[in-house]
Amino acid sequence: MPVAKVPNEERLFSLVLALLSSEGGLTKSEILSTVQGYRQRFVHSGDNSNLERQFERDKDDIRELGVPLETIESPEQAGNNHNLRYRIPRADYELPEDISFSAEESTLLGLAAMVWREGSLSEESRRAIVKLRSLGIATAEPVLSYAPQLRVREQSFEPLRSALDKSVYVTFDYLKPGEQTSTPRTVAPLALVQHQGRWHLYAKNPTVERFTTFLLRRIVGPVRASKNPCSESTVDAAARALAELDEVWQTNVAIVRVEPGTDAATRLSKRRGTATNPSTQLELHFTDFNIFADELASFGPEVLVVSPPALRQAVVARLTRTAADHG
């Protein structure tokens, strides 16, 4: 019987929920066998290597979203990766103490929480928590003070996935950073992949015989599917796309200085591959220059870009424009 595919957003949300619910953390085996999105494909006493690789990518994605995921090593078996435990500390994930809500705002948030609690994720989430408790793992149901930051898919996702299923060409308008007008692109879609929390299309341009990765958030307007079939092979396309994105991520390095104890210090220090030193400087990897500049600018005075100079200038330009727009 085929296993129903669980959407990526639902799997990531369920993972965050489970790691918040367990004070002592969960092992990889406990996560894969109980959490929605993994347990459906988990094979007891079998090969779960593909599922483990999915979990590694998901860890990177939720860290990229600013979720403070911690890894805890067993004191009795130091160096044994099989006994590593994963958790999200509540103190780092709760809303800051200086944020408060009026009575009206609290009522609206309460209503929103009721919708989430009674929504489609509720049954699976409760089932996962019950399973964790059955393993002897202490859990606590998350409350309103947690602030998930999972992104939704772009509008282009579904028509692109449909075109992939039908193996047909697609045409869409793509707006590159720094340009004022979009450019029409006609490509053969090969894979949709999520990297660092963002969706990308890996495709081949039939005119120049070149493979290109497109960020879905930069696709503007509708995606138009052709009736002409394409014969491009999609075998290993997703793996190639992720490998290329990882190579870009590894190459792009920035050094920033953060204010200790701030939201920026907490979130940026938890990102995959981050190196720290006592002088409050962080060495960060990034994939997309402009998106990273937007992210750093959003932290305001909590972050100072040391290098590269082009990134520093881009962040300063964003802050200057914001200040001008607000008088």
Task: Round to whole Å and give the CA distance between 135 and 129.
Answer: 10
Does some domain include residue 1? no
Look up the domain containing 292 and give its range: 252-325
Residues in the chain: 327
- For residue range 17-71, list pLDDT tens digits in order: 888 877 788 889 889 988 888 888 888 888 888 888 889 888 888 887 778 888 8
The count of domains in the chain is 3
CATH number at residue 268: 3.30.70
Name the more confident of 76 and 311: 311
Does some domain include residue 149? no
Let me know: does 189 contact 214? Beta carbons within 8 Å.
no
Does some domain include residue 200? yes
Residues 46 and 80 occupy one common structural domain: yes
What per-residue confidence (pLDDT) applies to 182? 92
Does some domain include residue 53? yes
CATH number at residue 190: 2.30.30
Residues 208 and 271 occupy one common structural domain: no
Residues 222 and 270 occupy one common structural domain: no
| Per-position DSSP letters for 213-275, written without gaps between them | EEEGGGEEEEEEEEEEE-----TTHHHHHHHHHHHHHHH-EEEEEE-TTSHHHHHHHTSTT-E
Task: Round to whole Å and give the CA distance between 186 and 220.
Answer: 14
The pLDDT of residue 180 is above 90: no
- For residue range 67-121, list pLDDT tens digits in order: 888 888 876 666 666 778 898 887 776 666 666 667 677 666 666 555 544 444 4
The pLDDT of residue 199 is above 70: yes
Residues 19 and 129 occupy one common structural domain: yes
The pLDDT of residue 213 is above 80: yes
User: pTM here?
Assistant: 0.59
Task: Round to whole Å and give the CA distance between 188 and 56.
Answer: 29
Residues 199 and 112 occupy one common structural domain: no
* Domain's final residue, options 208, 238, 268: 238
* Domain's final residue, options 192, 216, 238: 238
Phi and psi (nearest 5°) for 51? -65, -35
Task: Round to whole Å and give the CA distance between 28 and 317.
Answer: 43
Does some domain include residue 142? no
Phi and psi (nearest 5°) for 4? -65, 135
What per-residue confidence (pLDDT) applies to 148? 45
Does some domain include residue 2? no
